[in-house]
């Protein structure tokens, strides 16, 4: 098996050209990794091909977006029709109400507004919460990611967790004065922190940006109780989780957040995000009240793709298929780790999972960042060299699509066994080492 650098010369050459006109040669920081990023040419079903012609079974799926599978013909037909009729129409598209009703039915929320990205939706959600409560403070959890706007881009992936840490240059400290950062799954800390000036508690109900860190359901339920008692809102950021179970984490845990953010997988591969909420909260939005806008909000292409995705593709039967494969993949990782005697732990939920290089599955970000990240990169590059994209990054998770098969899972596990064996040996730069 050859190394990453020996099979991706085209990506290296393109990187050297692109970085002259694009910082780090990419359009999102999350697509860059050392020594250089992978440039993808096309995808079909559960597979993608890079510009060198290498084929990969893809478990990143656009960071969780493409559960419908690449090139899904149902979506292609609807999108072609939408483009022919006008990809953006200025005034309200006539199908947005149909999509809003479908989301309201499926996720049991009263009202819906659309934006284009998860970042926009979470930004608007905290504005709505402040408008409704008349309060200032927002509680978020370390290791949870809610988009790249200043007020929540704090303590996302700090290399050394200590106090409040901005996750980007250019964010003044005063911007996050009213952002409180707590540890995930720490109920005692939460109880001490929620006071009469907290407008909302925002969270990924299943943490999926420090790998997949499982949720203590009692912690979720107690968080809801505390928020109600103190008059604060609860915001479920289900940009990821909303598409990893039929009705998201909200449905899986039978909980009633005040606001809910959706995006990624429910859109079938096009830019659309959702702010859904209780009627009394959502009715704070409107002209002369709480601002919410966007030229590309609920454009015909994204609405058409989302409708066919929710109604015809990501059905309950589809989730049965994906979750069955996810259990198969999770069990396979557990067995390989045990057979090899390597310190790995595995967590999974819905259609996704993560392998951690630690003896126990982390419960919060501090435990996650103390795992052996260097061995993860050894594993990652070995997987790429074997034709599997296991996930998008060390703080990401794998995702199954409707197009994945048992054969794809067996391929993943075959390559993962080789990769975990190399990670156990440790220390090698798997992006460049030719010895394997």
Residues 55 and 189 in one domain: no
Whether 415 is in a domain gets the answer yes
**Domain that includes residue 337, residue range:** 4-67+315-425
Residues 274 and 320 in one domain: no
Label residue 431 by pLDDT band (50, 70, 90): low
Q: Is the pLDDT of residue 433 over 60?
A: no
Residues 273 and 302 in one domain: yes
Whether 436 is in a domain gets the answer no
Average pLDDT over residues 266-293: 97
What is the distance between the alpha carbons of residues 8 and 4, in angstroms, rounded to a whole number? 6
- CATH number of the domain to which 378 belongs: 3.90.1150.10
pLDDT of residue 435: 35
Average pLDDT over residues 290-301: 96
Whether 291 is in a domain gets the answer yes
- Range scoring the smallest mean pLDDT among 233-247, 298-312, 364-378: 364-378
Q: Are strands 345-349 and 137-141 parallel, antiparallel or unpaired?
A: unpaired
Average pLDDT over residues 328-356: 96
- CATH number of the domain to which 123 belongs: 3.40.640.10
Label residue 436 by pLDDT band (50, 70, 90): very low
Whether 433 is in a domain gets the answer no
Whether 432 is in a domain gets the answer no
What is the distance between the alpha carbons of residues 413 and 339, in angstroms, rounded to a whole number? 13
pLDDT of residue 430: 52
Domain count, the chain: 2
Domain boundary among 255, 288, 313: 313
Residues 245 and 347 in one domain: no
Whether 140 is in a domain gets the answer yes
Residues 338 and 204 in one domain: no
In whole numbers, what is the pLDDT of the chain averaged over residues?
95
pLDDT of residue 1: 67
Q: What pLDDT, in 10s, does the model give residues 6-55?
A: 999 999 999 999 999 999 999 999 999 999 999 999 999 999 999 999 99
Whether 293 is in a domain gets the answer yes
Q: Is the pLDDT of residue 428 over 80?
A: no
pLDDT of residue 32: 96
pLDDT of residue 429: 55
Average pLDDT over residues 402-406: 98
Residues 78 and 15 in one domain: no
Residues 148 and 208 in one domain: yes
Domain boundary among 267, 285, 313: 313
- Per-residue HEC secondary structure of 65-99 comes to CCCCCECCHHHHHHHHHHHHHCCCCCCCCCCHHHH
Residues 359 and 401 in one domain: yes
Q: Classify burial at 103, counting beta carbons within 10 Å of its beta carbon; exposed 0-12, middle 13-18, buried 19 or more.
A: buried
Average pLDDT over residues 304-322: 98
Q: What pLDDT, in 10s, does the model give residues 157-210?
A: 888 877 899 999 999 999 999 999 999 999 999 999 999 999 999 999 999 999
Residues 193 and 168 in one domain: yes
Average pLDDT over residues 403-409: 98
Whether 221 is in a domain gets the answer yes
What is the distance between the alpha carbons of residues 392 and 182, in angstroms, rounded to a whole number? 26
Residues 229 and 332 in one domain: no
pLDDT of residue 425: 86
Label residue 101 by pLDDT band (50, 70, 90): very high
Domain boundary among 313, 337, 360: 313
Residues 159 and 287 in one domain: yes
Q: Is the pLDDT of residue 434 over 50?
A: no
**How far from 408 is each of 61, 199, 223, CA to CA, in Å?**
14, 45, 39
């Amino acid at each position: 098996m050859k190394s990453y650098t020996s099979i991706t010369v085209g990506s290296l050459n393109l990187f050297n050209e692109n970085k002259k006109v694009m910082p780090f040669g990419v359009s999102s920081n999350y697509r860059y990794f050392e020594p250089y990023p992978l440039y993808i040419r096309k995808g079909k079903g559960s597979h993608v091909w890079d510009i060198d012609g290498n084929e990969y079974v893809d478990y990143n799926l656009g960071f969780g977006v493409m559960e419908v599978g690449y090139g899904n013909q149902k979506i292609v037909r609807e999108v072609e029709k939408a483009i022919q009729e006008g990809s953006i129409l200025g005034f309200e598209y006539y199908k947005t109400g149909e999509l809003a009703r479908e989301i309201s039915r499926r996720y049991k929320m009263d009202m819906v507004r659309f934006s284009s990205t998860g970042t926009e939706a979470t930004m608007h959600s905290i504005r709505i919460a402040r408008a409704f409560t008349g309060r200032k403070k927002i509680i978020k959890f370390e290791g949870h990611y809610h988009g790249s706007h200043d007020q929540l881009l704090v303590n996302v992936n700090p290399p050394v967790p200590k106090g409040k840490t901005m996750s980007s240059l250019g964010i003044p400290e005063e911007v996050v004065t009213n952002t409180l950062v707590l540890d995930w799954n720490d109920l005692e800390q939460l109880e001490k922190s929620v006071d009469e000036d907290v407008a909302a508690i925002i969270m990924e109900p299943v943490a999926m940006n420090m790998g997949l860190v499982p949720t203590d359901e009692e912690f979720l339920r107690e968080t809801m109780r505390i928020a109600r008692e103190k008059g604060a809102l609860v915001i479920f950021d289900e940009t990821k989780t909303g598409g990893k179970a039929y009705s998201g984490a909200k449905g899986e845990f039978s909980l009633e957040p005040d606001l809910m953010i959706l995006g990624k997988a429910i859109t079938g591969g096009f830019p659309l995000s959702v702010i859904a909420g209780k009627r009394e909260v959502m009715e704070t939005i409107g002209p002369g009240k709480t601002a919410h806008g966007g030229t590309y909000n609920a454009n015909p292409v994204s609405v058409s793709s989302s409708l066919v995705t929710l109604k015809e593709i990501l059905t309950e039967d589809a989730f049965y298929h994906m979750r069955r494969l996810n259990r198969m993949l999770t069990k396979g990782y557990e067995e390989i780790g045990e057979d090899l005697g390597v310190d790995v732990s595995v967590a999974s939920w819905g259609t996704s999972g993560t392998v951690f290089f630690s003896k126990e599955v982390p419960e919060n970000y501090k435990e996650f960042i103390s795992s052996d990240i260097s061995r993860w990169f050894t594993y990652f590059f070995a997987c790429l060299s074997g034709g599997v994209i296991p996930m998008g990054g060390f703080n990401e998770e794998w995702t199954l699509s409707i197009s994945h098969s048992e054969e794809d899972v067996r391929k993943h596990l075959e390559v993962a066994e080789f990769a975990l064996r190399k990670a156990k040996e440790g220390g090698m730069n798997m992006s460049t080492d030719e010895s394997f």
